[in-house]
Amino acid sequence: MPVEMLHFRGSDAILKEKRLISDIHLTMDYLSDVLDGSSYRRELTHQALAEMGWRENGTLAILEGRRYQHKGFKKRIALEGNFATYEYILEGLLRLQVSFDKGRIDAGVLMLTAQRSEKSSYGSSYDLVKTEVEMLTPTISLPVSVALFDIGRPVATEYIHQGGNHGISVPAGHTPAAENDAQVTPP
């Protein structure tokens, strides 16, 4: 499954009350499809969330007068996330908590990558999220849903990890022009 959702502190009930359950799932599935194997995730995330109606201007601010913004906002639900590193969980929860404490949101959705080091001794990302969100109580007290994305590495990165390089091998002395000349036959 490309996206796995975990709900904490009644966030699922709040999403249901606001009739956003299917919207959240459609948005997360769409993001998963758009971001799968991509390299420019930040720009694509903003574009996909705008297409799904989550990037209304003026509603994304976390702190007045500052440039800190949520990734998305709809019906007093904020989207926050980072697909580069799982460790964004702490910063993402803090950003959502600030908006919750200021009375701007009723709940948040934190989007994270499920990929972590294979050497990690902490088990699955699913289990780690459950443990870490509970460990952060009472500091982080907002109703929050966490969406874990399994979107894979960017295609170019995957190619390099498999031993590829940035070019192709060409035999010494080989030129495309010489090849084209050799194929030309007189009329």
Question: What's the domain range around 92?
Answer: 3-166
Distance CA 164, CA 158 (A): 9
- Confirm whether 23 is domain-assigned: yes
pLDDT tops 70 at residue 178 = no
- Confirm whether 186 is domain-assigned: no
- Looking at every residue in the chain, the average pLDDT score rounds to 83
CATH number at residue 114: 3.40.91.20
How many CB atoms are closer than 10 A to CB 7?
Answer: 16
pLDDT at 167: 54
The secondary element (H helix, E strand) that includes residue 144 is strand 144-149
Distance CA 63, CA 111 (A): 20
What would the mean pLDDT of 155-162 be, rounded to a whole number?
A: 50
CA-closest candidate to residue 24, choices 6, 44, 40, 43: 6
Question: Checking DSSP bridges between strand 72-74 and strand 107-113, what pairing results, if any?
Answer: unpaired
Token reading at 7? 């709900």
- Confirm whether 176 is domain-assigned: no
Instruction: Give the total number of structural domains in the chain.
Output: 1
pLDDT tens, 47-57? 999 999 999 76
How many CB atoms are closer than 10 A to CB 33?
Answer: 11
Comparison of pLDDT for 17 and 63, the residue scoring more:
17
- Confirm whether 21 is domain-assigned: yes
- Confirm whether 94 is domain-assigned: yes
Give residues with Cβ within 8 angstroms of 121, minimum separation 6: none
Distances (CA, A) of 135 to 80, 129, 139, 160: 20, 10, 9, 37
10-14, 124-128, 130-134, range with greatest mean pLDDT:
10-14
pLDDT > 90 fraction of the chain, expressed in percent and rounded: 56
34-38, 48-52, 120-124, 177-181, range with greatest mean pLDDT:
48-52
pLDDT tens, 55-67? 976 678 898 888 8
- Confirm whether 178 is domain-assigned: no
Supply the DSSP string of 37-94, one letter for each residue: T-S-HHHHHHHHHHHTT-B-TTS-BSSTTS--B-SEEETTEEEEEESS-GGGHHHHHH
- Confirm whether 174 is domain-assigned: no
Distance CA 54, CA 27 (A): 9
- Confirm whether 7 is domain-assigned: yes
